[in-house]
Structure 1
């Protein structure tokens, strides 16, 4: 249903068109001297041209102003100009009547027409001028209200329209006084009708203003007025017309007519009142029903506000109050009726960062008398928290336009804000994924216009993002693919997903192949993912070419080649297979090839074939296959899985070889192998026995060598060395008796020769069989060996915490010789002047000796057998054989440029240590003094060589204060004589049979600690001296220096005691 105010606006437009069309029609009839308008009504002859002009101007102005929303500035100015000209014409006409003047406008448009005989031909009637003036003024002030809100244009239009309506009623009743005033010209029926329509049009053009707002109101008064007004206006006019017409026809006289008119008016009024009462009753019922509906809606509204976390508020700007609904108080966490009811109280709840913005928004809305909306953060009281609210409100002005009230609603949008935050983060993640995607992603609308593209798509197509967004999808496709593109759009509209391969044109003119997946989204856009498969297409083309080459090669090879799918069925066999079996390709495909397997091999071969397929692993089968001549040949079938780029298995590729001849050869070889193994076993047992005998022989040879070395060393030490010592003693006795210089020089030269001979003999004895090894054990021997290596330019560091070891003598000798040989290897081959020896005892009773250097090293893996056994090379094989012969082992660690480390490990012996336990130490304070030096000192000589004892006696007997009281040839005899002879001094040799000099010293001093023991030995090694002194000897003298130093040593020691 069209609203009433829109209907009235249409009436205004119709009235304006009528006010324009009728004058133009009359002017045309005048121009062509048409008489049909006069035939319609005689008053046509009374219309003045100036009247038509005034009506035309008012109609034109009303047409421009009838639609308020469409009025432009130019249109308003033109309308005001037309209305002002109409007012000017009417005002001049009234001035002519009032001041009896003629301004010359009456005869406009009368040239060539018959001028009537009236007093003022061509001049509009006074009543017509007044109506024209009123209508013109109404149009001029149409949109200009007074200060009290009234619109003068409505009153002027109402007055002017009423005058025109009265004139029409006069024409209807035939009463001239209603349309002719005095003797002046009358208002024609056309003029009255048009002026009535213009006045009605002016009122209808602005129906929502002034008193017209009452008529258009949807309240009860407005509804009743719209329903009653037509009857209240037209029924009395109709009743009057009926009364006059009947009276003029003679149906009744004047008085009855008056009574009848009064009765008709009463009846009309009574009917209207009755209608109003019935309407009010219906309206009241409707109001109650509407009130009930409103109450229900209010309840639902309250529930909706509560469920939607919304609340209303009302602010009185005059009273400075702000009222919250209960829902709003609950939304803020306030107790009922606890809100401060002021705008300041509301601002106190607003977050400090949003407070200034809220105040500015509200003040601006009040200043502009407009609606406003904003979102802000507030502090919720219970429970204490921060929330987001959205405010939508309207400033309500009073009738004067001043803002008086604000009403609005607040929404709790906390969850929405959180959702927006989550959505924003999600969009950021999507945008990041969108831009970082390895595939191109595009979005377009249904016209094909690109809406968004990622950087990968730009790089793929060679365009910038702005360039692509200005293009359409079809711009990238070749013309011949446009029809295919239309088919895809139809698929997308049907809700299907499109996946396919396309050729796209890059910016540089080259074409690329892409794999596109597209889907239409609910928002009408479609998304597509583009993957550049140009390289893949090239690879596929190359693969097809390679596959063709492979098939050609496979058909040309004599090997039986086959391919099978993931379902284990053969899909292809080469020509060699077909020629070998003599069957058709169709018969061999699928499972047909298995029919040719030998019945005895078929079940096993197929079972293994299926099991390997199930595990997706390479396999190898041997079975017998029927050949084209009906015989069976042995086949070696190897197969590998065929995989795609993503690792999935698509089938198997196999190659089969005819190994019949090899099988026969294997059978013969197996027979020969058995025979060979038997012979090898027999030869191995003989070799093992020979190796054991050789190792035992080598061990015996080594022991024999050591025995011979020790025998030779003993001979040299016991005879040659002693003779040299005695000779030096004799020579020493002869030197003081020589008076001639030449004789002294000869004696000195002879002494030097004897000294060199003695040193050489001592060195030779040490090399053949070091006495320190047998006397003090392996640790002392290794330290002595380290000192000896200095003469060869090698500085050796010995590290050990062991003094004595329960090691068998032959084992100790082998360890010593092995270490000695390794050190000489360092000197010869390592290229360094430093080495180290580490001696330790492991937890599993192994003696561990490690010889290492930082020399040039070597690669053990590169050593040949000749290198290992060559005497001039390393001799490692000899060392290893010696160590293994006594149950030990050798470990080698060497790297080129980083030195060599060789570890020898030999098990310990559980026999008693060959070294005797040391006796108790000699006390520091003697119990009694020996014979004073003024008396002769008693001396006991102990040496296992008689010549040495005789030499020493002849030396000592030359001194009057010394007396040799006895001699002993071994340590045990020396202990006995010391106990019986009670000597003051014992001259003790170290190397003696049965009991050596060190042990004899301990025993003598344990019985009589006043005795002075002087050690004596051919050897001049430091460790020998330390061992003798540790046993209790007062001083140590070498035999070669005995003739000179022995007497002095005896005398100085005894004096030191006294």
Structure 2
């Protein structure tokens, strides 16, 4: 076919059509030989290949292409598009395009077509978004682009000389569907996410706010609005600052601006007016927001009412000042107490020592004049009145001396941390000496039998011997005082790794179980278990417990089966 050769496109349903645009088929027909050059076979072959190429491109272009008549009947559709919709080309031809859309969107599409057909100018329709109703398709949302093809474009290849022979062409609509399902799903997800955020934000028990890239506040949750009693419009922008205490406004603005320019987190405390007009202390924390690609999009923050905490801090400061004053007062009282104890130690012990000495000298004088020691050796019922008075005087003087000594020792143990004076002792020899010392001091008053039981091959023991001796002497004194005459008192020592165990066991007496928890209390004496009317200070066992703890050990008491046992555990690992 030469460049001067003319051709026409026309509708033909004969089998010899070259390119079909179902249902209208197009065919290249040479003009009469008298007017046109005869087309060679080679030229027709090239044209056929070119048309086949365009046909393949049209069928496989990755979009949905329709040509419709003015009533919406599908005249043609590309194969790729039909497959995307879940149909074959044959199933779609001659069907109404409206059937492919949901019932609710069909009326919208009809109105769009009506507007398109009534337009007097060429108009390309874009941004139409409709939902499909194609069960076998994965496409749910499409963007529709439609254009009305006027008659002159349909007949643009028809020779004007033949216009009388060809029937007039009806207008057609070219419609392209673009899959926007993923986009709409993303929009739905974003919308749902925003709705979820607003729901959580408005039900959160704290006040939340958001600010944009311009630094202006654009969102406040219901907790904030309820707290301030203001509307969202009043709070947006910088309106929220109106509720901040005038003395705190400049401070808040500086903190926020500094953090905003640095894109950093911030915390600030300020006073915010509540809906009732009361200023409340607020802790405001803001955190910058970024998109996944690192783009800054503003701030989100939360506020909590910390008024009670601030009031507690003020109260705590006052309390600390008060406590400090009390501590200073207590230190002063402790100094006074130490001075008092020093005075007591001198003013009471000295007269009592003199009294004891005078009593002893009185006994010597009476013995020289009246053989007083012979009188004191008689049974109590046979003694003279002078001998009985002398015994009472001597015993009560000893009791007062022990009371003051024990009391002062207890006070020193409570108020000082005097270091231990450690020595290495051989248990068997040392314990025998302590028992003999006790016998010598109590030869006239102690009528019980003392038995010493020491396990063989005990290791050397590092301890403060004075404190340990005081403990054992007090326990022996207590055992003798509350045991019947001729009862047996056992003092034992044995190894209970990693401790050394001492026991003082007396028979013939029991302590009621109800009294055991109070046995080590100061000034406590068992009221009903003293048949021999022995006097006591009530401080001996309290002093024993303090001294045992001072040595790093423990003491326990058990009573039953006509026996009472005090057990002391002391660690072996003291170092000299």
TM-score range, shorter chain: 0.3 to 0.5
TM-score under structure 2 length normalisation: 0.35
Considering fraction of residues, name the structure with more strand. Answer: 2
